[in-house]
Structure 1
Amino acid sequence: MTLEKILSIAGKPGLYKLLTQTRTGFVGESLLDGKKVSVGLRNNVSVLSEIAIYTLDAEVPLREVFQKIKEKENGGKTTVSHKDEKIKLEEYFFEILPDYDEDRVYASDIKKIIQWYNILHDNGITDFSEPEQENTKATDEKGQEASK
């Protein structure tokens, strides 16, 4: 399972796995309790693969932040909880992403990122690589070979 199929739904706790799309929205399954929910097109939904974190230079995809957390924690869960104090969360996040933009990344964002990482870890979703780019590169290489 990749981050392209994992959703965050505004107003609903946790993360959801995209099961299917319907005429009026889609059906997702909670990664917390396995309950299925039907979500309409009016709901504010974010796909994790499309989320990025502001840094002083650019925006870093969420998958890269998750990968840095995974490396720091040696593949385990985070040493801090999303319920810890603001200062502790900010110190931890500074270790992960030293150049994050402190004016645009709030403590609530850091809490979500840590909580999401732990939910994904609990569900065995720990591959944060970019499968689409690898396929595109392979296609480009084949296309170049064909034109030679």
Structure 2
Amino acid sequence: MNLEKVLSISGKPGLYVLRVQTRTGFVAESLSDGKKITVSLKSNVSLLSEISIYTYDGEKPLTEIMNSIAAKHDFGPSISHKEDNATLLAYFKEILPDYDEDRVYASDVKKIVNWYNTLQAKGLAVETPATEEATEATEETKEEVKE
């Protein structure tokens, strides 16, 4: 899954795609309704490709977590982000067993699941070459365990 141009803008609901960079900021297009907005450089903007989740061993990029969710659901929709906190945390434990339970909150998991479902609904949850390699490596590991 490629998250290079997908943005989360503080104070604005949903996800956006970076379209054009301007002298005073950039133009982003909403994934939910397709409307374009101008965002100044003063806005708090996060590229999804730059976000990481705390684990006990360090940090894991959001891209890898999204790929794990996609692989688990065969690139289909995941559970709803409106599930109760215990269900969301148990689900996330399946996706990322070693996440740091003290530093990753239910609200973080809710946001990740919501983002994944938004991307999946827009057809952006597709297999990329890196995902294919990870899937093949997982399948090879499973085959070795069976033997």
The answer, yes or no, to whether TM exceeds 0.5 is yes
For 2:66 and 2:9, how far apart are their aligned partners in 1?
19
Q: What does residue 71 of structure 2 align with?
A: 71
Match of 1:96 in 2: 95
User: Are the aligned partners of 2:2 and 2:63 in contact in 1 as well (CA < 8 Å)?
Assistant: no
| CA distance 1:10–1:130, shift in 2 (3 Å) | farther
Give the equivalent residue in structure 1 for 2:6: 6
Distance in structure 2 (CA, Å) of the matches to 1:96 and 1:129: 19
Question: Take 2:98 and 2:128, find their aligned partners in 1: how far apart are those partners?
Answer: 21
Helix, strand or coil at the partner of 1:4? coil
What is the distance in 1 between the residues matched to 2:30 and 2:12?
10
User: Using the alignment, how far apart are the partners of 1:3 and 1:19 within structure 2?
Assistant: 13
CA distance in 1, matches of 2:129, 2:58: 18
* Alpha-carbon distance change, 130 to 26 in structure 1, aligned in 2, over 3 angstroms: farther
Query: How big is the alpha-carbon RMSD for the aligned residues of Structure 1 and Structure 2?
Result: 1.5
1:90 aligned partner, one-letter code: L
1:124 to 2:120 alignment: no
Query: 1:1-148, aligned counterparts within 5 Å?
Result: 2-78=2-78, 80-127=79-126, 129=128
Cα contact 1:66–1:128 (8 A) shared by 2: no
Letter in 1 for 2:55: T
Structure 1: which amino acid aligns with 2:9?
A: I
**Aligned with 2:4: secondary structure?**
helix
Q: Which amino acid aligns with 1:113?
A: I
Aligned-partner SS, 1:3:
coil
Tell me the CA shift for residue 128 of structure 1. Answer: 6.3
Gap change, CA 1:2 and 1:19, over 3 Å in 2: same
TM-score with structure 2 length normalisation?
A: 0.84
Q: Compute the displacement of 1:75 (Å).
A: 1.4
Relative distance call for 1:47 and 1:130 in structure 2 (3 A) is farther
User: How many Å separate the matches in 2 of 1:58 and 1:128?
Assistant: 26
Identity %: 59
| Unpaired stretches in structure 2, ≥5 consecutive residues | 131-147
Number of residue pairs the alignment of both structures matches: 130
Q: Which runs of 5+ in 1 are unaligned?
A: 132-148
Q: Normalised by the size of structure 1, how large is the TM-score?
A: 0.83
